[in-house]
Amino acid sequence: MTIPHIFLAIGVTALWGFSFVVMRDLIDYLPPLLAASTRVAAAALPLLVLFRPPRIAWYWTLSLGLSQGVVQQSLIFFGLEFGVPAGLASLVIQVQVLFTTGLAYLILRERPRWSQYVGIAVSAAGMLLIALTMPSGGAMIGFAFVVLAAMTWAISNMVVKLAGTDDLLRLIAWAHAIGLVPMFGIAYAVEGWPTIVGELSDLSWYNIGEILFVGLVSNCFGFMLWAYLLRRHSASVVAPFSLLIPVFGMTSAALLLGESFGPLRMAGAALVLVGLGFGTARLRASRV
């Protein structure tokens, strides 16, 4: 993996880690399904200038829209709503690394190198240390929601790999535009039209900025860059970088939400970085 691509992967994970703090604040103003719907709508905004759909089979766009645009977004917001702290959610969702590596082996026949196994194991040990420092009391149902969100993230990774297109911005924008219809339909069925109108009319410009950040910047452009890396490197090489998300997420939560960040958590974050470096630094450069 090239040095620019390594820095790109780190930048995307920093963006996604911070977005958990923003989402935690957003559900104080919107119900979970409506918050997820507005995020999907913001992610579809590039469609206003990108009219032509990607030149791939329609079922890949639909699959990405349903997995990444509908299911994953809803599950994350429900996990936060059911009491999972933002920092913990950014940690738990990293089980997608295991799901992605497993699916890549089963579907794509990508066999990880021994150094990647060791790197993931070391990073997982760091995540365990970090988890020991997280506040208890998070609802188990919320925990399950975040784990399921991680699974759908792994499925989205496979869809991008199998779709085989470099027209990533169009793919993501159209996928979210397709996902917007069932997303708002579910929100309407569960929360009702009066609630939707009332909640949206009460949003401030600050809340609108939060929606644009988590939808357009973090979700659309962030996932576009992530998909770019997945198209050029093995999924088992790219996926471990997401282990940095809890490092950035918990740092943001500590600075903005007042979460404590003691020596044990610092040690866990260090292990995550060491494991990531061990698993990727010695890999043979992939094609660009």
How far is the C-alpha of 236 from the C-alpha of 98, rounded, in Å? 9
Tell me which of 205 and 230 has the higher pLDDT.
205
pLDDT at 206 over 90: yes
Per the structure, the complete domain to which residue 195 belongs is given by: 3-280
Supply the pLDDT for residue 137: 58
- Summarize pLDDT for 231-286 with one digit per residue, the tens: 788 777 787 787 788 888 888 888 888 776 678 877 887 887 787 767 555 444 33
pLDDT, average across residues 103-116 = 79
Q: Is the CB of residue 226 less than 8 Å from the CB of residue 102?
A: no
Type of residue found at 77: F
Average pLDDT value for the chain:
83
> Looking at the domain assignment, is residue 288 inside a domain?
no
**Distance separating alpha carbons of residues 231 and 170, to the nearest angstrom:** 15
* pTM (2 d.p.): 0.79
Please state the length of the chain.
288
Q: Is residue 131 part of a domain?
A: yes
Task: Quote the number of domains for the chain.
Answer: 1
Predicted pLDDT at 139:
59
In a domain, 150, yes or no: yes
Q: Is residue 79 part of a domain?
A: yes
Is residue 258 situated within a structural domain? yes
Is the per-residue pLDDT at 94 higher than 50?
Answer: yes
**Is 96 among the domain residues?**
yes
- Return the pLDDT at 283: 43
Is 286 part of a structural domain of the chain?
no
Mean pLDDT, range 150-163, rounded to an integer: 88
Give the closest residue to 116 by CA, choosing from 282, 252, 258, 228. Answer: 282
Burial class (CB in 10 A: 0-12, 13-18, 19+), 193: exposed
